[in-house]
């Protein structure tokens, strides 16, 4: 097998989708995929069997939603621009504005282009529960969503929906806090709209997530607010633990310890491991010194900090061995880069029948075509 390659297991993806289907069936909420976290469109026939569509952050994701899923497309951007708004309006079922000024600037054009479009406003419930500021939409001075102070009641005649997105990798207790803040601040507007979108960041498919409680929270909300459609738009929960990144050891050097150089890169192919940061699990490996042979695993770019971390193995590693990073399907290939000219990992799907299908390979072309 050529490496590096991200391998998505269809069986595991479907397991996630079935959990989300259960939430939809029991709670009455609709779930759409946030493309920002997972956009392997060769799986969208399957994803579309379970979910209601996609949430897109701007024109390109909206186009991808339309082309490969063709169910509902909800498009949000912190700010839209003149040259894209008409095309976005044409292909979106819902357009979500970030501020009253953007709403006023573009809602009429959007309605003219697409009379059936839903107009929504993203609000900021100002309830911070995410520990890492980089991922906290309610962090201090956040640009994301309209605060109560900036809410413009003159828009209410035209607004069809309200969105909030305030979570990241969280359980239902965090949703309950945010929902409480949302209803406290914006409760008087809820029954004037037809849908409320609870955003993403719900770690629904992770072991230990309280799915029954989520269903209860949504049902209770829907009983407080009759005839309001509820949406959730997770990204990570769809791609969670449904595949891995396979790499090959190219060389082993020693500088105070053994260092294995891989044909992949933390910086270019697993960027969240450096920015969150978090430590990716490696199949068969433990933490440093837990097993007999400890190595620093490192990437094949010239960035000094392109390092996955220290891992230990029961057997010594050798050049040519495969190293498999677990859970590398969400927020990986949607963010990967050709930094340093490094080859992008191929994309593959392990089908339910056991066939491994390489759905996309990359080369020099992808590097060159982004430069001039
Ligand atoms: C990122 C994002 C999501 C998806 O978040 P996950 O953490 O991947 O579930 C949903 N909605 C909005 C507005 C987002 O920015």
Q: Which residues contact 14 (CB under 8 A, 6 or more apart)?
A: 46, 352
Q: Is 201 in the pocket of ligand 1 (CB under 6 A)?
A: yes
Q: Is 168 in the pocket of ligand 1 (CB under 6 A)?
A: yes
Average pLDDT over residues 338-342: 98
Ligand 1 centroid–CA 37 distance in Å is 7
CA 82-85-91 angle, 5° bins? 165
Question: Does 258 have pLDDT greater than 90?
Answer: yes
Q: Is 165 in the pocket of ligand 1 (CB under 6 A)?
A: yes
Mean pLDDT over each residue of the chain, to the nearest integer: 97
Ligand 1 centroid–CA 14 distance in Å is 20
State in Å, rounded, how far the first CA of the chain is from the last one.
32
DSSP classification of residue 256: S
Q: Which residue has the tokens 């909420």?
A: 29
Q: Which atom of ligand 1 is nearest to the CA of 36?
A: 1
Q: Whose CA is nearest to atom 7 of ligand 1?
A: 201
Measured distance CA(342)–CA(364) in Å, rounded: 9
Contact yes or no for 91/73 (Cβ under 8 A): yes
Ligand 1 centroid–CA 56 distance in Å is 10
Alpha carbons within 13 A on the beta-carbon side of 130: 22
Measured distance CA(295)–CA(79) in Å, rounded: 45
Structure confidence by residue, pLDDT tens digits, 97-155:
999 999 999 999 999 999 999 999 999 999 999 988 899 999 999 999 999 999 999 99
DSSP classification of residue 285: -
Q: Which atom of ligand 1 is nearest to the CA of 163?
A: 13
| Domain ranges in the chain with CATH number 3.20.20.10 | 10-239
* Phi, psi (degrees; rounded to nearest 5) at 112: -65, -45
Ligand 1 centroid–CA 294 distance in Å is 36
CA 9-16-227 angle, 5° bins? 150
Q: Which residue has the tokens 């969105």?
A: 163
Of 195, 80, 97, nearest in space to 155 by CA: 97
Ligand 1 centroid–CA 260 distance in Å is 34
Entry pTM: 0.97
Q: Is 235 in the pocket of ligand 1 (CB under 6 A)?
A: yes
User: How many C-beta atoms surround the C-beta of residue 242 within 10 A?
Assistant: 26
pLDDT of the residue at 333: 98
Measured distance CA(223)–CA(237) in Å, rounded: 26
Q: Is 58 in the pocket of ligand 1 (CB under 6 A)?
A: no
Q: Which helix (H) or strand (E) holds 310?
A: strand 307-313
CATH of 243-328+336-368, one of 3.30.565.10, 2.40.37.10, 3.40.50.720, 3.30.499.10: 2.40.37.10
Q: Is 23 in the pocket of ligand 1 (CB under 6 A)?
A: no
For 262, the token pair is 């891989």
Structure confidence by residue, pLDDT tens digits, 18-48:
999 999 999 999 999 999 999 999 999 999 9
Contact yes or no for 265/299 (Cβ under 8 A): yes
For 270, the token pair is 């697993």
Ligand 1 centroid–CA 335 distance in Å is 14
| Domain ranges in the chain with CATH number 2.40.37.10 | 243-328+336-368
For 246, the token pair is 């396979």
pLDDT of the residue at 1: 87
CATH of 10-239, one of 3.20.20.10, 3.30.420.40, 3.30.230.10, 3.40.50.720: 3.20.20.10
Measured distance CA(72)–CA(62) in Å, rounded: 10
């Amino acid at each position: 097998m050529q490496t590096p390659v991200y391998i998505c297991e269809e069986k595991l993806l479907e397991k996630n989708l079935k959990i989300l289907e259960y939430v939809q069936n029991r709670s009455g909420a609709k779930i759409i995929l946030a493309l920002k976290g997972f956009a392997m469109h060769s799986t969208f026939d399957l994803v579309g069997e379970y979910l209601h569509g996609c949430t897109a952050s701007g024109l390109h994701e909206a186009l991808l939603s339309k082309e490969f899923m063709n169910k509902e497309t909800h498009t949000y951007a912190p700010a839209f621009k003149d040259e894209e708004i008409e095309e976005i309006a044409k292909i979106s079922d819902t357009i979500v504005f970030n501020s009253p000024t953007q709403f006023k600037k573009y809602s009429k054009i959007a309605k003219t282009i697409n009379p059936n479009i839903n107009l929504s406003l993203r609000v900021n419930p100002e309830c911070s529960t995410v520990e890492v500021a980089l991922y906290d939409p309610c962090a201090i001075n956040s640009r994301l969503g309209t605060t109560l102070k900036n809410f413009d009641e003159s828009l209410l005649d035209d607004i069809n929906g309200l969105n909030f997105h305030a979570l990241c990798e969280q359980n239902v207790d965090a949703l309950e806090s945010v929902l409480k803040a949302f209803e406290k601040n914006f409760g008087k507007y809820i029954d004037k709209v037809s849908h409320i979108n609870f955003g993403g960041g719900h770690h629904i498919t992770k072991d230990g997530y309280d799915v029954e409680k989520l269903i209860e929270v949504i049902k209770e909300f829907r009983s407080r607010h009759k005839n309001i459609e509820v949406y959730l738009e997770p990204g990570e929960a769809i791609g969670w633990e449904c595949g891995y990144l396979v790499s090959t050891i190219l060389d082993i050097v020693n500088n105070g310890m053994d260092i294995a150089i891989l044909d992949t890169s933390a910086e270019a192919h697993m960027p969240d491991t450096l920015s969150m940061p978090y430590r990716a699990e490696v199949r068969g490996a433990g933490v440093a010194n837990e097993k007999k042979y400890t190595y620093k695993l490192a990437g094949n770019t010239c960035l000094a900090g392109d390092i996955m971390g220290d891992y230990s193995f029961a057997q010594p590693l050798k050049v040519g061995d495969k190293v498999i990073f677990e859970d590398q399907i969400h927020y990986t290939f949607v963010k990967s880069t050709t930094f340093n000219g490094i080859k992008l990992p191929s994309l593959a799907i392990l089908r339910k029948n056991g066939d491994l299908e390489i759905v996309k390979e990359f080369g020099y072309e992808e590097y060159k075509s982004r430069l001039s």
